[in-house]
Structure 1
Amino acid sequence: MTEKTTTGPHPTAPRQALLTRGADAETCADPSSVMTLLGESDGTGGFTSYRSAFAEGTVGAPAHFHTRATELFFVLGGALRVLVGEEVTVLGEGDFLAVPPHTPHAFAAAPGAGADVLFVFTPGLGRFDYLRLLGRVLRGEADPKEIAESAERFDNHYVDSPVWRTALEGAV
């Protein structure tokens, strides 16, 4: 399968279609979720896509932002509590959220619920390696400083969010 795209009168190089069969997808697990790595392509116009299943009461990602990537969320089932900027809301099954670059955000399973979420980043920037690293750190197999050292490579920048801390404490 190939796809040929054009921009104006000049065609761009053909891109290969990507198909990942569910049975063949790599999975990564950490204490908060099981991630199914669906596909990624680096470069301009690239993407990363994975599915995460969060158990009830688990926290997904602390407050962070991306400088180059837009992060897309589609809730396949359950409910996901999210921080976007300074606002906390709950996404339910069928809800879609697009978080543009430079926007602080965070997510966790909503209180009393698990969540099944499809994530897409564009551009992708080889984020599967970040997810693998995150899993190793959370399992105690790698040093947490590796995450901080990889911030530019994976376009993942952690920030402090009093609003998110309060939400996780159950006050929001």
Structure 2
Amino acid sequence: MNENAATANTATTTFEPVLTRHAEAETCADPSSVMTLLGEAGGAAGFTSYRSTFATGAVGAPAHFHTKATELFFVISGSLQVLLGEEIKVLNAGDFLAVPPHTPHAFAAAPGHEADVLFVFTPGMGRFDYLRLLGRVLRGEADFKEIAESSERFDNHYVDSPVWRAALEAAKTEAAR
């Protein structure tokens, strides 16, 4: 990188470097996964990053979209089934996916597989609070209406997807065999 590029990059950075040591990372667990909260910084150049491990058959997020954030997925190991618009894709270890704003998507461990996935949102919008809320709701410690009421704050808007419902039902049927 040349000196001018380094100066330009420094000028647009709106947060201090973020370092999270593995031993110090907060974890959130819900019935479907364990999330390790890695780093978060606000502002237009901000981000949220966390790692989720999904057990075999675990459902991740229902169909939703973001109006501001791009969501990035990197599969560390295993396989992740993803709704992308109206299509179902399977991401395997080493695969990367970037989902732009306004694109309906959902995800779960692919049928018969576990998944270990790194997620990054940009901008981040304080999503750690959303993940904590989601965990409380799934454990029965908070009411689901709190999630619906937080959709604008966390840029997380749920939608109905017959394609995703059918994929989840097919996965249940396959697991029952």
Q: What TM bracket, shorter-length normalisation?
A: over 0.9
1:42–1:84 distance in 2 versus 1, CA, 3 Å: same
For 1:14 and 1:99, locate their aligned partners in 2 and report how far apart those are by CA, in whole Å. Answer: 23
* Structure 2: runs of 5 or more not aligned: 1-5
The TM-score with structure 1 as length reference comes to 0.93
After superposition, give the CA deviation of every residue in 1:105-148 in whole Å (9 maximum; x if it has no partner): 00000000010000000000000000000000000000100000
Q: Does 1:6 align with 2:11?
A: no
After TM superposition, the runs of 4+ consecutive aligned structure 1 residues lying more than 6 A away are none
Alpha-carbon shift at residue 13 of structure 1 (Å):
6.6
Please report the RMSD computed on the Cα atoms of aligned residues, expressed in angstroms: 1.8
The structure where strand makes up a greater share of residues is 1
| 2:33 aligned with 1:21 | no
User: 2: distance between equivalents of 1:151 and 1:17?
Assistant: 28
Contact 2:40/2:47 (CA < 8 Å) preserved in 1?
Answer: yes
Shift in alpha-carbon separation, 1:15–1:43, aligned structure 2, 3 A: closer
Residues in 2 aligned to 1:38 and 1:144: alpha-carbon distance in whole angstroms: 25
Give the structure-2-normalised TM-score: 0.90
Q: Conserved in 2, the CA contact under 8 Å of 1:5 and 1:13?
A: no
1:6 positional shift? 2.3
State the partner residue of 2:151: 151
The code of the aligned residue for 1:164 comes to: W
Q: Please give the residue correspondences for 1:10-49 in structure 2 after superposition, counting only pairs within 5 Å.
A: 11-12=11-12, 15-49=15-49
Instruction: Report the counterpart of residue 120 of structure 2 in structure 1.
Output: 120
Could you say which structure has the higher helix fraction?
2
Q: Secondary structure at the match of 2:170?
A: coil
Q: Distance in 1 between the 2:28 and 2:167 partners?
A: 27
Aligned partners of 1:50 and 1:120 also within 8 Å: yes
